[in-house]
Amino acid sequence: MSDQSICAEVSKLTKCYGKGKIKALDAVDLTIETGEIVGLIGPNGSGKTTIVGCLLGLLKPDSGEVKIFGKSPDFYSVHKMIGYMPERPDFEHWMTGLQFLEYHHGLARLNPHGAKRAVEELLEFVELPRDAWSRKLKTYSRGMLQRLNLAQGLLTDPKFLLMDEPTLGLDPSGVAVVRKIVGRLRERGATAVINSHQLDEIERLCDRVAFIKHGKIAVIEKLKGQDFCDYVISIKWSMNGFDGGQPDLAALAVEAGSVLKEQNSRTAKFIVKDSQAAGYLIKKIVSAGLLVEEAVPERARLEQLFLDQGCSDGN
């Protein structure tokens, strides 16, 4: 009997290409709890997409094991619970948007009664313009195709959704749709894995993140409810209406559990532990009489994690 608190479990997963010459995954262990959103990040070629392929059962590992709700991903019962949004989907460009989703609705062996309404609701949910529903896919922009890709991944109302670069090609309103999708998954207690180079979105959406490097999981960090690395915040203030001398920022930083890194007449940089510490520091500075005009993190936490792992950027 499977443990329903565990959605997916990867044990000693190894996958090689080129007749064993290229080790894409090297004894990877990863457990994903039911109801959590997990991000996969790392440099290109680190093994992220290979993990997703193994979770889907599209790739066969050379050794190790993958279980989805306690079963092999090859089981049809598992297929019915999984949704997938590929990075580069292959569309039938002669179809219209409606025809495409209705076709995949049938492929998924969903109830044909009410299929049209179910498809229309999904197109509305991903905010694909109604005047595009009956147009051929060959006339769609990249962003429109990605919205259709998102809709297809949600067709089966999946318990486990794998999203490969879901914000690729999307404008800000499309990115908001992805956030809405993840919010819907949370409400239903569903699980998701998001593979992306968009570090700010991973940080916003995910509960945990797995940093993958050279086919291994270098570190797994919790994002929600716990900050995993110090970062620098730059604070700028105005002296208008302030008659006293400049307060002792170093002392205020210590009181707030932070460290003053550098300062000049109107700006200062502080090393803070987390967002709560940053908020407390700003409150201290305002209470001391300075009018804070802006407070900006110098670097996102996941970007800092990339640097800490010896990677120059997220590409």
Full DSSP string of 201-242: HHHHH-SEEEEEETTEEEEEEE-TT---S-EEEEEEEE-TT-
Instruction: State the Cα–Cα distance between residues 53 and 59, nearest whole angstrom.
Output: 5
Contact between residue 155 and residue 101 where contact means Cβ atoms under 8 Å apart: yes
pLDDT value, residue 131: 94
CA distance 147 to 145: 5
d(CA 286, CA 237): 9
The torsion angles phi and psi of 88, rounded to 5 degrees, stand at -125, 80
> Would you give the DSSP letter of residue 72?
-
Residue-level pLDDT at 19: 81
Please tell me the number of Cα atoms within 13 Å of 290 on its side-chain side.
24
Map residue 308 onto helix, strand or coil: helix
For residues 232 and 269, is the Cβ–Cβ distance under 8 A? yes
3-state secondary structure of 188: helix
The pLDDT tens digits of the residues spanning 83-114 come to 999 887 788 899 999 999 999 999 888 888 88
> Contact at 8 Å (CB) between 117 and 95?
no
DSSP 299: S
Q: Is the pTM of this model over 0.85?
A: no
Nearest-angstrom CA–CA distance, 104 and 194: 22
Query: What's the confidence (pLDDT) of residue 232?
Result: 81
Of 140, 144, 132, nearest to 98 (Cα)?
A: 132
Q: Where are the alpha helices (DSSP H) in 68-224?
A: 76-79, 97-107, 115-125, 142-153, 172-188, 199-205
The predicted structure's pLDDT at residue 2: 54
Report the alpha-carbon distance of residue 21 to residue 233 in Å, rounded: 44
Specify the pLDDT at position 3: 65
How far is it, in rounded angstroms, from Cα 69 to Cα 31? 11
The per-residue pLDDT string of the chain (315 residues; one tens digit each, 9 = 90 and over) reads 456 799 999 999 999 998 888 899 999 999 999 999 999 988 888 899 999 999 999 999 999 999 999 999 999 899 889 999 988 778 889 999 999 999 999 988 888 888 899 999 999 999 999 999 999 999 999 889 999 999 999 999 999 999 998 888 888 888 888 998 898 888 989 999 999 888 888 888 899 999 998 899 988 888 765 555 567 888 998 866 555 567 889 999 999 889 898 888 888 999 887 777 888 999 988 888 888 888 887 656 666 666 666 665 444
| C-alpha–C-alpha distance, residues 261 and 268, integer Å | 7
